[in-house]
Structure 1
Amino acid sequence: MRKYELMLILNPELGDAGAATLLGEIKAELKTIGTVIEKEDIMGVKDLAYKINNSKTGYYALYNLGLEKGDFFAVTNAFNLKKDIWRNMFIRLEETK
């Protein structure tokens, strides 16, 4: 199983309840392609290195994922259509020997 890391920056104006709802939708979309969520780290609102949408803060979430085979492009495109997901990045982690 290949290991991935997903970092998300969400609109901080969602608040904890709104972010939890959006993150639930994101997890459902990830599961449609067969992703196993191994670890979830919701960091909350943090300062950004630069402004995004005229905001100095963003709501951060980090996921460690496992996936046999799959296509993240469909999920990434769905993320790009959601206005409250400001940034997303998938990183494939190296295999440990």
Structure 2
Amino acid sequence: MKNYEIMFIVRPDVEETVVKNTVKTLEKVLTDHKAKITLSKELGQKEFAYEIKKFKSGYYFLYNIEAKDDAAIKEFDRVSRIDENVVRHLVINLDK
């Protein structure tokens, strides 16, 4: 099993239900590809050091996951890039 840390930021100008639906969608992508979520934290809204896509803040989320292969990570990356509510995302392989 490979261990990964994922952080993503959701845009600040959407309703709370949209934020929750975005998070559920991204969690479903991971679990559908047989990744196990070992840690899930909502870090709240934080100010950026600089503007990202014309936003000055965003809702931060942190996940630690275990996955057998990188299929879940590749799909998460693909969906995060497509979803207009995700401002930025980062995936770190903790095993390296």
- Please, what TM-score do these two structures have when normalized by structure 1? 0.89
Q: Does residue 87 of structure 1 match 2:88?
A: yes
What is aligned with 1:59?
A: 59
Superposed CA offset, 1:26-75 (max 9, x none): 10011121110001010111011110122210110000101112322232
Q: Tell me whether 9-18 or 48-57 shows the greater mean CA deviation.
A: 9-18
Which structure 1 residue ranges, 5 or more long, are not aligned?
none
Which structure 2 residue ranges, 5 or more long, are not aligned?
none
Q: Which runs of 4+ in 1 moved over 4 A?
A: none
Say how many residue pairs are matched: 95
Separation in 2, partners of 1:18, 1:44: 15
Separation in 2, partners of 1:36, 1:89: 18
- Please, what TM-score do these two structures have when normalized by structure 2? 0.89
Work out the percentage of aligned pairs sharing the same amino acid.
24
| Cα pair 2:26 2:79 within 8 Å, conserved | no
Separation in 2, partners of 1:74, 1:54: 26
